[in-house]
Amino acid sequence: MKQKIWIVSFSPTGNTLKTLKAMAEELGGADGIIDLTVPGHAAPRAFDREDLVLLGAPVYGGRIPALARERFLNIRGNQTPCLVAVSYGNRDFDDAPLELADLAAQNGFLVKGAAAVVGRHTYGEIQVTRPDEADLAEDRAFARKAAARPEHAPAPVIPGNRPYKDGGKGGNFRPLTSDACVRCGLCVRQCPANAIAEDCRTIAGSCISCFRCIRSCPAGAKNMNVKEYLDFAAAFTEKLAARRENQYFL
Ligand X SMILES: Cc1cc2nc3c(=O)[nH]c(=O)nc-3n(C[C@H](O)[C@H](O)[C@H](O)COP(=O)(O)O)c2cc1C
Interface contacts to ligand SF4, rule CB under 6 A: 175, 177, 181-187, 191-193, 195-196, 200, 203, 207-213, 217, 219, 221-222
- Taking the least distance from each CB to ligand SF4, the nearer of 115 and 191 is 191
User: What one-character DSSP code corresponds to residue 221?
Assistant: -
- Taking the least distance from each CB to ligand SF4, the nearer of 147 and 203 is 203
**87 touches which of ligand SF4, ligand X, none (CB within 5 to 8 A by kind)?**
ligand X
Question: Binding to ligand X (CB under 6 A): which residues in 148-167?
Answer: none
Amino acid symbol at 121: H
Which sign, positive or negative, has the C-alpha torsion 130, 117, 90, 104? positive
- Taking the least distance from each CB to ligand SF4, the nearer of 145 and 215 is 215
Query: Mask of contacts with ligand X, 190-229, x by CB under 6 A?
Result: -------------------xx-------------------
- Taking the least distance from each CB to ligand X, the nearer of 87 and 246 is 87
Q: 84 with 146: CB under 8 angstroms?
A: no
Asked if 119 touches ligand X (CB under 6 A), the answer is yes
**219 touches which of ligand SF4, ligand X, none (CB within 5 to 8 A by kind)?**
ligand SF4
Q: Which residue among 51, 121, 138, 175 contacts ligand X (CB under 6 A)?
A: 121
Q: 120 with 77: CB under 8 angstroms?
A: no
Amino acid symbol at 25: E
Amino acid symbol at 13: T
Q: Which residue among 8, 59, 110, 115 contacts ligand X (CB under 6 A)?
A: 59
Backbone dihedral angles phi then psi of residue 6, each to the nearest 5 degrees: -125, 135
Residue 58 and residue 166: Cα distance in Å, rounded?
15
> Which helix H or strand E contains 52, and what residues bound it?
strand 51-58
Asked if 61 touches ligand X (CB under 6 A), the answer is yes
- Taking the least distance from each CB to ligand X, the nearer of 86 and 110 is 86
- 3-state SS record for 115-140: EEEECCCCCCCCCCCCCCHHHHHHHH
Q: 147 with 115: CB under 8 angstroms?
A: no
**92 touches which of ligand SF4, ligand X, none (CB within 5 to 8 A by kind)?**
ligand X
Closest residue by Cα to residue 170 from 210, 122, 203: 210
Tell me the closest approach of the beta carbon of residue 214 to ligand X, in angstroms.
11
Q: 120 with 127: CB under 8 angstroms?
A: yes
Tell me the closest approach of the beta carbon of residue 150 to ligand X, in angstroms.
30
Tell me the closest approach of the beta carbon of residue 194 to ligand SF4, in angstroms.
8
Q: 119 with 245: CB under 8 angstroms?
A: no
Tell me the closest approach of the beta carbon of residue 47 to ligand X, in angstroms.
22
Binding footprint of ligand X on the chain (CB under 6 A): 11-16, 58-62, 87-92, 119-122, 170-171, 209-210
